Amino acid sequence: MGGNFGGRGTGGRALRGRHTALGLGWAVAVTAAVGVRVWNALTDALMWGYDAWGHVAYVLFLDLYRAVPWADQGWSYFHPPLHYALGWVLAQFGSGDVLVRGLSLLGGAASLLTAGLAAQVARMAAPDRPGLPLLAFTAVAFLPVHLVVGSMPGNEMTLGVLSAGALVTFIANERRPTSSWALDGLCGAFVGAALLAKFSGLLPLLVVAASLGLRPLLATDGRRWLLRNLGRAALIAAVACTLALPYYARNVREFGTPFELSRGYPLIAQVEADQPPGIRGVSDYLRISPKMFDDPNPLAPHLLNSIWSTVYLNVWADIYRESDVERALLSERTTPAMTTWLPLLGLVPTVLAGLGALLALRDVRLGRRRAEYIPMLLLASATVVSFVRGVLRSL
């Protein structure tokens, strides 16, 4: 009995030690993630970020006219209004600093919540491995592109957290023995809100619909699931469309399309056409340049003609900054680690992410964790396809 008692005691101490280490890890990760976002939001230059002036102008338009602008009233006004309505609340303080810093804090909070939702997906996929949610949270929370874009006043992070909310809600429902109509309604609400944040909110709706169509095809009793999944898809789409329809119906009535873009107007179209390198070809999507690690100039030919090299660098080193090439080049000269060590270090998590996707595909083929992995794999695939859609236009 003494030996058994001692074994249990040793095991209990080891378990408590693991819990303590895990709790400490969460405390450090969350504190650091919050701290760096607050620091970036409060210390970065005002009006810094992709099209920052246009995003802030949208908020000021709402504040001045108490109305949503038409898509053809300005180059930045083709976006849906949800993100800018949140900015309008900040504008009521009557301070430009509060508005711009508040938008940066809003982006940082959305980025942090997205990392938390990533941790929840890891927890659902592997409940017996408590360290994985911490790894998932840390991987997303400290992804350089998240830290950079999270402090900008644009609508990207608002879209990201709403899309993530839709997918996590959907996955949680898929894991249930019997799906919940209430969770489907909540998923639809997230999708509708995402559609009101940016046109790209259509992507999670397509992913959810594809997942509901694919699961019955993979199940042995697929016919039993088919009708119910059709009903679930209809409910999710109905809730999403109910929320987003007024804005998009207005666009259809005025412009004949729900997705009116500023590039449809000659001036904006000409500006975009004059930007290098011009029309993309298939080879631009196939070429990978090893020179990206020692010459990250975004205007260099080896990057202009290599889309994936540019994308990779912008994820790990932010070579474009705020579309201000001079500032980007100055940063490269003064902080070489941003464009040398960070891209090299980024190879490790990039390879691990690829291996993880292959393992997820294996699990799906073997019938494991399909509820969690099918939506995530479809989302990754849809994102890549939407990104390279320009190939089809150039053929």
Q: What is the spatial distance between Cα 79 and Cα 60, in angstroms, rounded to a whole number?
A: 14
pLDDT at 312 over 60: yes
Between 310 and 157, name the one with better pLDDT.
157
Residue 323 is predicted with a pLDDT of 47
**CA pair distance 213, 91, nearest whole angstrom:** 44
Q: 77-87 pLDDT, tens per residue?
A: 999 999 999 99
Asked if residue 79 lies in contact with residue 58, where contact means CB atoms within 8 angstroms, the answer is yes
pLDDT greater at residue 30 or residue 18: 30
What is the pLDDT at residue 329? 55
pLDDT digits (tens, 9 = 90+) for 116-157: 999 999 999 999 999 999 999 999 999 988 888 888 899 999
pTM of the model: 0.87
Helix (H), strand (E) at residue 25: helix 2-43
Would you say residue 226 has pLDDT above 70?
yes
- pLDDT higher than threshold 70 for residue 222: no
pLDDT digits 0-9 by tens, 206-220: 999 999 998 878 776
Residue 256: left (phi > 0), alpha (psi -120 to 50), or beta? Answer: left
SS3 for 208-264 is HHHHHHHHHHHCCCHHHHHHHHHHHHHHHHHHHHHHHHHHHHHHHHHHCCCCCCHHH
Q: Are 33 and 112 in contact (CB under 8 A)?
A: yes
More confident residue, 298 or 355: 355
What's the Cα-to-Cα distance from 98 to each of 92, 102, 109, 236, 248, rounded to whole Å? 9, 5, 16, 36, 31
State residue 157's pLDDT score.
95
Residue ranges covered by each domain of the chain: 34-258, 276-395
